[in-house]
Chains A and B, each alone.
Chain A
């Protein structure tokens, strides 16, 4: 790539400064493009890998209505993956390339999906806490500087917010059920609370990419600010549900106007990010198997389309 003219760089900087959108055909710094590919791909992969932990319960959903809700939700996640891969393709990479990066472990996805789903309550908890945390992270991205990403996020946030309500509603319903069901909900919240807090990423002091991403308008809030917001919003919800959040340090701080809370086990976070979570290998192996098992189908579709196109040409010739 030749060095950009100062004019192009100025235009780019001015667009970001006015909080306007950068579009795929606009000039952009190579590092900006790379950062976006990394972030959007990671986000797309998270949607696709995220189908697995909840998909784990579709076959065992305890009512037909819950089965329909869960299947439709997991299907929505595939749809989100599609929008995001499409947004990423506007930056000059293909879905095939991105899928390969995922199954070869060269790109990451949200670590939360490396935890197992162990009871039906987890379906509700993932909706309430995991989708809730995802929304906190993603709402600011609706205003991100890259147009296709921001527009995909608007659509995704609407659906995620809907999923979150469904998850919360499942937990509310279970809390009105039997003692066993209430215990199931509490046990699930105990397991998912800390991993949900980890979803905002490491503390700001240890987040190397935050500063540049904020300067580019890709990211608009820091990890710690979003985490605080999530905790403040979750506490009254937990009270409404009748569950206890498993943090002895959690209390309202009048002076700050926010809740004080404990820190997740960041050593565990790093272990899971580096592949040492309970489901890392399983999640990637599942994706890899589905992709490889489907290779002959994709090849057949391509061969068929080529033959049809050739036949069409012969007819019109």
Chain B
């Protein structure tokens, strides 16, 4: 929830009091500010800036794209409490994405799409709204279309279990920005995992209908799980430089947590083959599912219509 600007109620007798007054109490700021202001953004000497930036895009795109899907739930959840919770998760991930995209741009400016001279569009928005599909590095689990409530629960459980395991290690990154993003993210992701874990068990043990739906959702998503645990060469490179984390190194830990949740819900681990890649590549290589283009078309349409727009 945003920080709330407080007044005594009577101060609101005029709805417009102070509307034009410069006021520091606005959540999200009144103007665009560099989200990394004051943070040491220099890249450690022995780290390849391009690899670090690409790695930040991978983690940033995971968060951005899943946030986009979760935000589609807004006003559609089974009850108000779940509507609010899913929006919270989407907002947390969006916040992580903004920092990671800004970090990517700072580490390697050559990755940032060029816009007409004088365009006021900040780097994080150039990366989010002006890259094409093949330049997005998110895992495919983040992008697949929404299903029912069981589907979003299973997806958030898989995603947050994996990302929390990654971020716990990433807190020790030699890159000050990544370490700070991870330290903040761990608390958020622990909540996401808790929320989805509780609902997972509730649906698994609720009614026949809820159990059937949950098992179907888990089965459908399972082929996307191995992609999360595979280590891409860029991830290997940043892990070797001790700025990033190789997903293969947290696989066992993530699996243990999942097994615990499955056991609590009396659910057996699905047996499904991993979803194959395309021409040897997966989401991390910019090779996505057929739905990704439509997701981006929606997300980017207004920004692209106004490459010199000020928002």
Contacts and interface: CB of A to CB of B under 8 A. Distances in A.
Contact of B299 (A51, A60, A154): A60
A62 interface: yes
A62 B15 contact: no
Contacts of B308: 177-178
A78 B71 contact: no
Interface in A48-62: 48, 51-52, 55, 58-62
Contacts of A299: 206-207, 209-210
B20 interface: yes
Interface string B105-137: 000000000000000111011001100000000
Contact of B15 (A59, A63, A161, A169): A161
Contacts of B124: 64
B130 to A, nearest CB: 11
Given A162-B4, A300-B203, A181 B84 contact: no
Contact of B302 (A48, A60, A301): A60
Interface stretch (B42-50, B85-93, B181-189, B240-248): B85-93
Interface in B141-155: 148-149
Interface stretch (B23-31, B169-177, B274-282): B23-31
Contact of B207 (A67, A162, A303): A303
A71 interface: yes
A178 B306 CA distance: 8
A78 B83 contact: yes
Interface residues of A: mostly helix, strand, loop or mixed? helix
A63 B121 CA distance: 8
B75 A82 contact: no
Interface in B59-113: 64, 68, 71-72, 74-84, 87-88, 90-91, 94-95, 97-98, 101
Interface stretch (B5-13, B229-237, B253-261, B283-291): B5-13
B2 interface: yes
Given A71-B94, A75-B91, A237-B19, A173 B202 contact: no
A58 B90 CA distance: 11
Interface string A240-268: 10000000000000000000000000000
B180 interface: no
Nearest to B153: A297
Contact of A63 (B76, B88, B95, B311): B311
Contacts of A173: 310-311
A60 B298 contact: yes
A297 B148 CA distance: 10
B190 interface: no
B75 A55 contact: yes
A68 B310 contact: no
A295 to B, nearest CB: 8
A50 B268 CA distance: 42
A166 interface: yes
A58 B86 CA distance: 14
Contacts of A181: 306, 309-310
Interface in A157-209: 157-159, 161-162, 164-166, 168-170, 173-174, 176-178, 180-181
A220 to B, nearest CB: 11
A48 B75 CA distance: 8
B16 A177 contact: no
Contacts of B209: 296, 299-300
Interface stretch (A11-19, A271-279, A286-294): A286-294
Interface stretch (A1-9, A33-41, A132-140, A210-218): A132-140
Contact of A62 (B13, B76, B98, B311): B311
B1 interface: yes
B91 A72 contact: yes
Contact of B94 (A67, A154, A240, A307): A67
Q: For B95, B97, B311, which residue has the most chain A Cβ atoms within 10 angstroms?
A: B311
A126 interface: no
Interface string A80-95: 0110010000000000
A27 interface: no
Contacts of A240: 20
B303 interface: yes
A127 to B, nearest CB: 11
A59 B299 contact: yes
Nearest to B71: A58
Nearest to A66: B311
A201 to B, nearest CB: 17
B87 A71 contact: yes
A298 B78 contact: yes
Contacts of A290: 75-78
Contacts of A78: 75, 80, 83-84, 87
A205 to B, nearest CB: 25
Interface of B: 1-2, 4-7, 9, 12-16, 19-20, 23, 26-30, 32, 64, 68, 71-72, 74-84, 87-88, 90-91, 94-95, 97-98, 101, 120-122, 124-125, 128-129, 148-149, 201-203, 205-207, 209-210, 213, 298-299, 301-303, 306, 308-311
8 nearest A-B pairs in the assembled complex, by CB-CB distance: A294-B78, A300-B206, A300-B210, A177-B310, A297-B78, A135-B15, A75-B87, A62-B302
